């Protein structure tokens, strides 16, 4: 599942080094590469998060190139995190938490239909939605209170991501038979 966040990591790194538009295109390229790898090389079904990331980064990058908006780095990150949040929330609302596709790669098929398997994936996906909501709230705060140190934002954002990662590992390990 961590590989699914590679487009967002590529975006963050390139955004910092070369600017937002380059970061958006880097995210689009990495997301598209993951899709191609899964479909063409591994013969897997494309994952919701990979498809969503490819559409999200490509769409925002094309908009940025076409309309040349005057966005701050924080505003671009907010748009990306809003998109990520929407992908996760829509997966929950649709009854197919985004983590199910990853869990099915490690959990025996006999458990896939169990209520416990579905519940565990709802919980983990909800924690990720909460983490992304924290990112959005932090970025909105930084946009509207520029006097705040960006270090506060970095601390909160890293804390939310690390917290979601640690929770995912801990909660998944609780009962290996169902996720």
Supply the DSSP symbol for 175: -
- The SS3 assignment for 43 reads coil
* CA 83-84-89 angle, 5° bins: 95
Q: Any idea where the domains of the chain sit in the sequence?
A: 1-71, 80-179
pLDDT tens string, the chain, 179 residues long: the values are: 678 889 989 998 999 899 999 999 999 999 999 999 888 887 788 899 999 999 999 999 999 999 999 999 899 999 999 999 999 999 999 999 999 999 998 899 999 999 999 999 999 999 999 999 999 999 999 999 989 998 999 999 999 999 999 999 999 888 665 55
């Amino acid at each position: 599942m961590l590989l699914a966040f590679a487009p967002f990591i590529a975006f963050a790194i390139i955004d910092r080094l070369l600017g937002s538009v380059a970061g958006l295109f880097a995210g689009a390229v990495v997301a598209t590469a993951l899709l191609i790898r899964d479909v063409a090389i591994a013969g897997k079904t494309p994952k919701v998060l990979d498809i969503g990331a490819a559409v999200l980064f490509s769409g925002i990058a094309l908009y940025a190139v076409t309309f040349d908006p005057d966005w701050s780095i924080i505003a671009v990150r907010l748009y990306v995190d809003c998109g990520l949040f929407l992908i996760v929330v829509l997966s929950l609302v649709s009854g197919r938490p985004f983590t199910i596709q990853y869990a099915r790669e490690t959990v025996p098929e006999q458990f896939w239909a169990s209520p416990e398997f579905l519940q565990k994936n709802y919980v983990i996906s909800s924690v990720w939605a909460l983490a992304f909501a924290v990112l959005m709230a932090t970025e909105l705060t930084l946009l509207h209170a520029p006097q705040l140190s960006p270090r506060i934002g970095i601390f909160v954002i890293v804390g939310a991501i690390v917290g979601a990662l640690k929770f995912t590992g801990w909660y998944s390990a609780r009962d290996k038979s169902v996720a």
